[in-house]
Structure 1
């Protein structure tokens, strides 16, 4: 997908709102520059549009599914 931050966000929100997707995987061509641009410019537009489920970046897949921690499971501190 190529375009301005507004264009990219609008397309992603359209897919989100139509139920076509429930998340996105990014493959950005130039790291870290494109990642920084996406985070700084596109993500805020997605958040404003309500297309971001998880507002807690510390949340893990395990906690999303309410799975118990194993005895030797490292934990975020």
Structure 2
């Protein structure tokens, strides 16, 4: 099943870990409608940020990504 209508996904303040961020990144690669992903104030580290960055290579419709207040260092930010 694929998403055909969801444009905004707000998962802010949900204690999402790096492994869970990787789980979000996988379907993000094929989603064609999502334009906004809010992951503010979670526990996403560099590994999660890198997984999201990999997904963004193929995800051309995403225009807004909020990763503020996570555990991402310069390395994770550079990947994004």
- On whether the aligned pair clears a TM of 0.5, the verdict is no
TM-score by length of 1: 0.36
Instruction: Work out which of the two has the higher radius of gyration on C-alpha atoms and give 1 or 2.
Output: 1
Structure with greater helix percent: 1
Flag the structure with higher strand content: 2
